[in-house]
Amino acid sequence: MTKKIRQVYLEQSDYNKLVARLSGHYLTKYLPDDWNSWPDTEEETKEKYANCVNAKNEIVEDLPFGNGNYSCLTDFMEQNAWEPFEDWSTDDVMSQITGLADEVVRIFKEGLEIEESDISVVDKEIFEYLKDMTERGDEKAKRLLGMLDEVEL
């Protein structure tokens, strides 16, 4: 018998956090959760934060992101590229990261099919407990059970 588990929706902020978490497969440091609000290039940083640029067109002030260590997302990725990806462009590395995130999202949207033999006794007990608590009117159990779509046991 097959058990189908589904995650229905993923908010953009959750997707950005997923990208940040998966970035560790390609970078030596994880992207911060606010990575998507950082300017992509140093030029964009200079345009957006002109008050942080001196007369020589150099970034001199602490920027409101990156703890003062990075001038833009590209800078972060170049400084933290994992050795096998050091020679890759930051666009290519980001494509790998977001491609992995997209694949994870696709898997959860389509559902994971798990053979009955792979389901532990504990998993069955938790499911049965949630079902029982939902029938008794427990709202938390109902929300947790609602995360599982069309579960067949």
Tell me how many helices (H) and strands (E) the chain has: 6, 2
Burial 92-108 (b: 16+ CB within 10 A, else e): ebbebbeebbeebeeeb
Nearest 5°: the CA angle 6, 4, 139 is 55
Q: What is the mean pLDDT of residues 28-50?
A: 89
Count of domains in the chain? Answer: 1
pLDDT at 31 over 70: yes
Kindly state whether residue 68 falls inside one of the protein's structural domains. Answer: yes
Kindly state whether residue 52 falls inside one of the protein's structural domains. Answer: yes
Burial 113-139 (b: 16+ CB within 10 A, else e): eeeeeeeeeeeeeebeebbebbeeeee
For position 124, what pLDDT does the model report?
66
Kindly state whether residue 137 falls inside one of the protein's structural domains. Answer: no
Kindly state whether residue 14 falls inside one of the protein's structural domains. Answer: yes
Higher pLDDT, 26 or 135: 26
Question: Using 50, 70 and 90 to split pLDDT, how confident is the model at 92?
Answer: very high
pLDDT at 21 over 90: yes
Higher pLDDT, 121 or 71: 71
Residue 21 amino acid letter: R
For residue 104, the enclosing domain spans 9-111
Q: Is 27 helix (H, G, I), strand (E, B) or coil?
A: strand
Q: What is the pLDDT of residues 101-144, one digit of tens each?
A: 988 888 777 765 555 555 555 466 677 777 777 888 877 777 76
Kindly state whether residue 153 falls inside one of the protein's structural domains. Answer: no
| CA gap 63, 43 in Å, rounded | 14
pLDDT at 1 over 80: no
Kindly state whether residue 15 falls inside one of the protein's structural domains. Answer: yes
pLDDT at 36 over 70: yes
Q: What is the mean pLDDT of residues 30-44?
A: 90
51, 61 contact by CB (below 8 A) = yes
Kindly state whether residue 82 falls inside one of the protein's structural domains. Answer: yes
26, 116 contact by CB (below 8 A) = no
Kindly state whether residue 117 falls inside one of the protein's structural domains. Answer: no
- DSSP lists the bridge partners of residue 3 as 114
For position 23, what pLDDT does the model report?
94
Higher pLDDT, 143 or 19: 19
For position 8, what pLDDT does the model report?
42
